[in-house]
Chain A
Amino acid sequence: QITLKESGPTLVKPTQTLTLTCSFSGFSLSTTGVGVGWIRQPPGKALEWLALIYWDDDKRYSPSLKSRLTITKDTSKNQVVLTMTNMDPVDTATYYCAHRTIGGGALDIWGQGTMVTVSS
């Protein structure tokens, strides 16, 4: 059974760097085809795709946020970390991590999400 869980601060100040950790079980990020993605959702708004890391360490980013995002994996710890620099109040959102299906790329299992508020 695949599970994912996001963790990190609930409140960050403007200009600070956000670090979120996705801890998962039930799969290995060293298995061919596997990926873990990050998606966010501001309150009352739509889903926004942020980044994805593949089993072979290939990384993809949203172009609009690429300069601020870094995604890394620790295969031995079964974790994926997303950092976002220079946080702003508009970055207030629920942040989700999700497992990418091996067969194609849809996000079949999601974490519960973690709400991050950016405020001074």
Chain B
Amino acid sequence: DIQMTQSPSTLSASVGDRVTITCRASQGISSWLAWYQQKPGKAPKLLIYKVSSLESGVPSRFSGSGSGTEFTLTISSLQPDDFATYYCQQYNTSPYTFGQGTKLEIK
């Protein structure tokens, strides 16, 4: 299995901050990486697919980058609605594994 490791596990930030979450794959996954946002009691929501493509309706303050085995999700200016847990997922090779999640908390 390809292991996906996210860092940090928890991130404390304030409204207006720029934040970056990192996801590392245990082997190359080409560009087959997605980012999801999950709020308590809700299903995950797709934010970004294929490393950097923004899903329809997702605010432009979200962006993704990276290649090979290291990827990042950046939120350019945190809004109150962005405090949630974020997961990366590789869909290059089955099983299509998720990272362990990054909880973004209000400082």
Contact = CB atoms under 8 A, between A and B. Distances in A.
Interface of A: 37, 39, 46-49, 52, 60-63, 96, 98, 101, 104-113
Interface residues of B, number: 23
Given A48-B98, A105-B91, A108-B55, A63 B1 contact: yes
Per DSSP, chain A at the interface is strand
A110 B36 CA distance: 11
A104 B100 contact: no
Interface of B: 1, 32, 34, 36, 38, 43-46, 49-50, 55, 87, 89, 91, 94-101
A111 B46 CA distance: 12
A99 to B, nearest CB: 10
A104 B98 contact: no
A63 B45 CA distance: 25
A96 B95 CA distance: 16
Contact of A49 (B45, B46, B49, B89): B89
Given A101-B49, A108-B46, A113-B43, A49 B87 contact: no
